[in-house]
């Protein structure tokens, strides 16, 4: 494709094997990032994680971590990491600088106790009653810029009500927005179920997943 020279120049000028000070500062103030993982067969999954500034904890040039909370129970990212530790992260500032940061590395699954034994100053979650089910710590292998050329500028908008952290209410989580469940029930000739808020249960750690 005739891009070898440009690619080599990019790797020489921009690709680091660590997070430099500006990268660490950028990562520490982000409120979301995209995460790519793959299982042992190379079948991929992508998702995103979000939280207040600082939810992505930067420990130094070679290490950063984030907490995993209760979700839909699929645990695709954690399952993939258990089989294949290689992960790709993409952090994008849509509001101010319109720039992105790629971070590739190897991930390790840790319990809350395990990561706090290594990083005792790690802050606790400020949301009452919310506890991490696991931590993912990434050893940085590559870090490089994502140029601003095609990054759209986005503006923050107020949301109706608070975030439904930890809820199992289907409607508050977005419901069957794309109609997948309704299509399946229609194909089976069954009526749609009445949605209700089930009793909340205390989340349990993913036993046996940690080193």
Give the pLDDT of the chain (211 residues) as one tens digit per residue: 889 999 999 999 999 999 999 999 999 999 999 999 999 999 999 999 998 899 999 999 999 999 998 777 788 999 999 999 999 999 999 999 999 999 999 999 999 999 999 999 999 887 787 889 999 999 999 999 999 999 999 988 877 766 665 566 767 667 778 888 888 888 888 776 655 444 455 445 545 555 5
Short-list 145, 36, 31, CA closest to 94? 31
What pLDDT does 120 receive? 94
Q: For residue 160, is it within any domain?
A: no
The predicted structure's pLDDT at residue 128: 80
| pLDDT at residue 105 in the model | 99
CATH number at residue 51: 2.30.110.10
Q: Is residue 55 domain-resident?
A: yes
* Burial readout 79-91 (b: 16 or more C-beta within 10 A, e: otherwise): ebbbebbebbbbb
Residue 158 lies in a domain: no
Collapsing DSSP to helix, strand or coil, 46 comes out as strand
Q: Is residue 200 part of a domain?
A: no
* pLDDT confidence of residue 208: 52
Per-residue model confidence (pLDDT) at position 70: 79
Is 136 within the bounds of a domain?
yes
Our count of domains for the chain comes to 1
Residue 180 lies in a domain: no
Domain that holds residue 11: 4-146
Q: For the whole model, what pTM was predicted?
A: 0.82
DSSP for 187-201 reads HHT-PPPPP--PPP-
In-domain check, residue 66: yes
Dmax (CA) for the chain in angstroms is 60
Q: Flag whether 130 is in a domain.
A: yes
CB of 18 closer than 8 Å to CB of 27: no
Give the SS3 label for residue 31: coil
Q: State residue 162's pLDDT score.
A: 63
């Amino acid at each position: 494709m005739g891009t070898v020279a440009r690619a080599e120049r990019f790797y020489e000028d921009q690709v680091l094997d660590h997070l430099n000070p500006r990268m660490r500062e950028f990562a520490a103030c982000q409120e979301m990032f995209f995460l790519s993982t793959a299982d042992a067969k190379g079948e991929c999954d992508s998702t995103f994680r979000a939280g207040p500034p600082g939810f992505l904890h930067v420990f130094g040039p070679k290490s950063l971590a984030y907490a995993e909370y209760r979700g839909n129970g699929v645990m695709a990212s954690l399952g993939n990491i258990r089989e294949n530790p290689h992960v790709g992260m993409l952090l994008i500032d849509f509001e101010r600088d319109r720039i992105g940061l790629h971070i590739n590395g190897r991930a390790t699954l840790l319990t809350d106790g395990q990561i706090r034994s290594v990083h005792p100053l790690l802050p606790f979650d400020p949301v009452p009653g919310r506890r991490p089910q696991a931590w993912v710590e990434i050893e940085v292998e590559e870090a490089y810029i994502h140029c601003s050329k095609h990054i759209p500028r986005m503006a923050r908008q107020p949301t109706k009500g608070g975030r439904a952290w930890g809820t199992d209410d289907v409607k508050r989580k977005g419901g069957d927005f794309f109609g997948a469940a309704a299509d399946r029930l229609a194909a089976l000739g069954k009526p749609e179920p009445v949605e209700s808020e089930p009793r909340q249960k205390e989340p349990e750690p993913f036993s046996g997943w940690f080193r």
